Amino acid sequence: MDQLNFDRLVAHVRRTAEAAKMWSPEDTVVVAVSGGPDSVALLHVLHQIALSEDCPLQLIVAHVNHGFRPEESREEAEFVRELAAQLSWPFELAEVDVPAYMKQTGMGGQEAAREMRYTFLHQVADLYGAHSIALAHHGDDQAETVLLRLLRGSGLTGLAGMKLKRREKNVELVRPFLRIYKTDLIRICHESGFTYITDSSNLTNKYVRNSIRLDVLPFLGQYNGQLTESLNRLSVVAGDEDDYMQLAAEDAFKRLAFTRSDGGIVLDIKPFVQLHVALQRRLIKLILTYLPLNKEESDFTKIEALRLRAQQEQPTTWRLDLGGGSLCRREYHQLVFLPQEEEGKPFQFCLETLPAKVAIPGTGKVLEVTRQTEFNHAVSLMPHNQHEALFDADELIFPLTVRSRQPGDAMRIMGLNGSKKVKDIFIDEKIPPSLRSRCPLVTDAAGRILWIPGIRRSSHALVGPGSSAVISVKWNEEEGEAAGLSVGSGFHSIT
């Protein structure tokens, strides 16, 4: 970019904001102003835009006193307050106790200060109903960020660095200066007569980011005189490719995975392992973001362990702790990501009167039970629909009960001498372990298991020519539910 002056900087920010849709006319924008040359230049640029007829804005100047340098910090706060008054914009100040927050959270100084600063900025945005929070990060900040993440072994998302616009807590974080370098901003401040404050803490390499700026970048600059520009180009390329991979992962998720009504996410293994390895990793990463995990727990090692284990044909079932209470289980031909390890809670419903309708917890389905006295005696002993079962009412002992499985459950199965454990039935039918506690069992008052909906019917109370009344039990989608437990096939179906 050719040498900038203030008017050209304003024009650049206008174009950048319009292309990225950072704000619209009449929006309220919170401007984070530390008092340094970057944020002072940003405030003056936005002030110029805000007073224009084509894109008037309402600005709120926000400043945080972190208290690290008591006397300097007070002077900075007063400087920003006076600057806001000079430009006739509202001013909001936060005085925070970072050391106390560090002790409370165990965070480092810079991390704690950043979290408290952003919390305050969001509070100001909420107070004024702001659409955006404008931050003065520039190209040198971006280069430092990319290099720092490169040293930590980041992937594409990390190498993309900071984004021009990112939505956070219903507010847009915007960085109009991200393609501008600090030397240009300092020079424009001098040419335009904009006074600013120099933060003395920026001159010490006590903090990692400062060390990157003061030591590492100058050292590497011996081998590439355009290192800062190169790192910024890397962030642009990585950002675009990261966006593309994100879209590809979201498309793969729609094709290969779905979310169950209990919050579990199911991924079909066979088509998954046919994806390119890069897309496999990205799809797992996307799924992990849907679970209540910390970012540190969604690292490359965990993603790669999941990916490699999914390639194995044996064993057919395994489990992997994901941290934060979440886990992944391989259940036959599927990977099931569960937000918490505990199985569904036991349930039991007694059907005192008929007709009755029972919603089964965590399935999105209902059992509908009716008594029929008028029916076709030629009806088949086993209805063609596996989600319906018929029983001779005279051979049942009432009331009927619908409950979850219990240890030792067994049922007499049609065409089989003796009984079979429900656990073995689930295994034979390849019902995923994570769903078994949600499969309802229909029993009569004698404790006989009559039917496992969609799976097996017992040999009890068969309907025949001499039946005078029939009990019909149907396993249906609950009205208003988009997804439910399809026990017969062992997974949720999406309709």
The H or E element that residue 474 is part of is strand 470-477
Global pTM exceeds 0.85: no
**Domain containing 486: what range?**
348-494
Domain CATH number, residue 373:
3.50.40.10
Q: Where are the beta strands (DSSP E) in 135-283?
A: 165-168, 171-174, 257-259, 265-268
Give the pLDDT score at 355. Answer: 93
Number of structural domains (the chain) is 3
Token pair belonging to 459: 């040999």
140 and 13 inside one domain:
yes
pLDDT at 132: 97
Q: Quote the pLDDT of residue 481.
A: 41
Contact status, residue 45 vs residue 16, Cβ threshold 8 Å: no
**Burial per residue of 7-45, b for 16 or more beta-carbon CB atoms within 10 angstroms, e otherwise:** eebbebbbebbeebebbeeebbbbbbbbbbbbbbbbbbb
303 found inside a domain: yes
Residue 493 — very low, low, confident or very high, per pLDDT cuts 50/70/90? very low
Query: pLDDT by residue (tens digit) across 418-448?
Result: 899 999 999 888 888 878 888 999 999 999 9
The domain spanning residue 289 has which CATH number? 3.30.465.60
Q: Is the pLDDT of residue 1 over 80?
A: no
- pLDDT of 489 over the 70 cut: no
Residue 113 sits in a domain whose CATH number is 3.40.50.620
Residue 366's pLDDT band (cuts 50, 70, 90): very high
Q: Could you tell me if 13 and 161 lie in one domain?
A: yes
pLDDT tens readout for residues 192-251: 999 999 877 776 777 788 899 999 999 999 999 999 999 999 999 999 999 999 999 999
Q: What's the average model confidence in pLDDT over 153-181?
A: 95
- Is residue 139 assigned to a domain? yes
352 within a domain of the structure (yes/no): yes
Are residues 142 and 272 both part of a single domain? Answer: no
The residue that leads in pLDDT, 312 or 304, is: 304
pLDDT at 488 over 80: no
